[in-house]
Amino acid sequence: VGLFSRPWSEGLTASPPSGRNPLKMYHWAVWYKTNPRDEDYLRALFGEHYPEGEFINIDKESGWRAAVGRADEVVLLYPDAIGLGFARWEREVKRLLKPWAGMRVINGRRRTFRLGASTLLGLRLRRIVERGMLGEVLAIFVFLLATPLLAVKDWWKGRS
């Protein structure tokens, strides 16, 4: 069973939101950076790996929980690289799985992997970094610290 979800609102587009609502702009920036793939792309990708598998869009189909309960293997189809917005589905699927059933992931970058405890921990840490835009925040602090030092160095050497 392959489970697809689009955890982002349908209104997000490739162009930034109009207006200056900081929350909408932040939400759009996080979504845009993930570069999510669409349902058709992931349906085809799932079909390549599991030609006999059942593809389910859990946003549209209500019977997906029963299908997970019957499955020997469940594949979560992340539209992006790290499954932003999938934490609730991961918990729900884990709760519904048979004790011996496996859980795998195919992400929007065509990577496949088993979703075990250590992998899940790594994904959750990456999601925190991605959602908090910690890389961007760190870069801003580095530039804020380096700029005055470089300006003083240039001034000292006679370059303005």
Task: Give average pLDDT by consecutive 10-residue segment, the chain, 160 residues.
Answer: 86 72 82 88 97 95 94 96 93 94 95 95 92 88 93 88
Angle between helices 117-131 and 87-96 (to 10 degrees): 160
Residue 65 burial by Cβ neighbours in a 10 Å radius (0-12, 13-18, 19+): middle
pLDDT of residue 77: 98
Question: Is 55 in contact with 43 (CB distance < 8 Å)?
Answer: yes
Q: Give pTM, 2 decimals.
A: 0.81
Q: How far apart are CA 111 and CA 113, in angstroms?
A: 7
